[in-house]
Amino acid sequence: MTSLINISPDNVAAIRDGLNELGNALLSIHRVAGDDNSSRLVIDGSGSLRIQGTSDTVFEGGVGIGVSSVTNGISLETSGPVKFQGKTFTVGNAVPTIGLYNIGDIIWNDTPKPESNLGWICIRTGTPGEWRSFGAISG
């Protein structure tokens, strides 16, 4: 025995409106994260995420911010200094002579050789701070 359910025209209109709103929301999401040229976030066919702006930022592979542990095989490379837990880590060939540095900031020696050091650590905040070498490299 088949039972029929009577749906009022008002209910049909409410369902139609709800489905239209859902469709518009899904289209809006596509404009935010899709392959549309007007999108600020683009995910290409290989899974790379591109954030479009005055200059594009591309994320390929694993990215973690605010993570409690890092998976083996994940690497982080930047074109400038890295800052974490309030300390700046950069690369150079000498103690800085300009700029504000905070106690605990580190400059890694980009030209290490025998009888030199691994880098310099800021021991007093200032411009440019007070620095000491660390990590003697044997001859």
> What are 56-90's pLDDT values in tens digits?
667 666 666 666 666 666 666 777 888 888 899 99
The answer to whether position 70 is within a domain reads no
Residues 136 and 98 in one domain: yes
Provide the β-strand partners of residue 124: 130
Beta bridge partner(s), residue 122: 131
What is the pTM assigned to this prediction? Answer: 0.53
Taking residues 12-39, report their average pLDDT. Answer: 68
Is 69 a domain residue? no
Among 132, 101, 137, 131, residue whose Cα is nearest residue 118: 137
pLDDT digits (tens, 9 = 90+) for 86-110: 899 999 999 999 999 999 999 999 9
What value does the mean pLDDT of the chain take?
Answer: 80
User: Does residue 72 lie in a domain region?
Assistant: no
Residue 71 falls within a domain, yes or no? Answer: no
Range of the domain at 105: 79-139
Which of left, alpha, beta for 23 (phi over 0: left; psi -120 to 50: alpha)? Answer: alpha
Residue 9, SS3 per DSSP? helix
Residues 54 and 85 in one domain: no
